[in-house]
Amino acid sequence: MSFTDAFERRFLFVLTRGLALLFIFGLLAAIVVGGIMVSDKLTLKDSTAVSPQEVVDAIKPPVYEEPPPQGSDTASPTPSPPPDPAILPGIKLPFVLQKHFNAPERIQTLRDWLEALPNGQRQVFLDEMAAAVTEAEKAGAEGLDAVNQYKALKFDKIKQEEAASAALLTARLTYAGAAFGAVLLIALFSLILVLLAIERNTRRGQA
């Protein structure tokens, strides 16, 4: 046996096999530990719900006007006919909102808002808006101010959720790519171990 053969068998083969096993177990541990560490970051936790108190807190204090003296000739405005509660197919306008959407242009504005939302969020949008208007009117604020403020808060939260969803998708793809690369490296080092075993058995057969 030459010095080179002895060096390869006693040192290089042992070193290569040890490093390959070390990398394999290290990569497996990295996949498991990394998955545990980032599992919380790979789930979406943001909510688009807007509480009535958020709307009330965001509304500026109302400016109260001096009521007209009694007996004045100020004519009260003619009330508009109540709107159709079904703003969109399958969507019902809550009663507390009907007085704020009793004009054609206001109804069209509401339809535009709803059409910008997924079907599953449209009725929720109206129900949350109705709760916000009810709470705002109890606090002495204008109902229409609550409507507009709720819409602004709701759409802002929806945009934040969309941004968070995009960031979450990027994080998932990054982790999946890293895990796939680790699996490929494990396969490579496993192949090295197989080749080393074949080489060792071949040399034993030739000895």
| 33 pLDDT above the threshold of 60 | yes
For range 8-20, the mean pLDDT: 74
Token couple for 74: 């100020």
Give the pLDDT of residue 120.
85
Q: What is the pLDDT of residues 56-104, one digit of tens each?
A: 777 755 444 444 555 444 444 444 445 455 577 888 888 888 888 888 8
Q: What is the pLDDT of residues 133-143, one digit of tens each?
A: 998 888 888 88
Q: Is residue 23 very low, low, confident or very high in pLDDT (cuts 50, 70, 90)?
A: confident
Q: What is the pLDDT of residues 171-185, one digit of tens each?
A: 888 888 888 888 888
Residue in the structure block whose two tokens are 């530990």: 33
Q: What is the pLDDT of residues 189-207, one digit of tens each?
A: 888 888 877 877 776 666 5
Give the pLDDT of residue 103.
85
Q: Rounded distance, CA 151 to CA 153, Å?
A: 6
Give the pLDDT of residue 75.
44
Q: Which residues contact 46 (CB under 8 A, 6 or more apart)?
A: 157, 160, 161, 164
Mean pLDDT of the chain: 77
Give the pLDDT of residue 163.
87
Give the pLDDT of residue 45.
61
81-84 — which CB contacts under 8 Å span 24+ positions? 83/107
Give the pLDDT of residue 76.
44
Is residue 26 classed exposed, middle or buried when 0-12, 13-18 and 19+ CB atoms within 10 A define those classes? middle
Give the pLDDT of residue 141.
82
Token couple for 51: 């509480």
| Of 6 and 138, the one with more pLDDT | 138
Q: Is residue 1 very low, low, confident or very high in pLDDT (cuts 50, 70, 90)?
A: low
Percent of the chain with pLDDT over 70: 72
For range 159-164, the mean pLDDT: 86
Q: Rounded distance, CA 81 to CA 99, Å?
A: 9
For range 34-55, the mean pLDDT: 70
For range 20-35, the mean pLDDT: 82
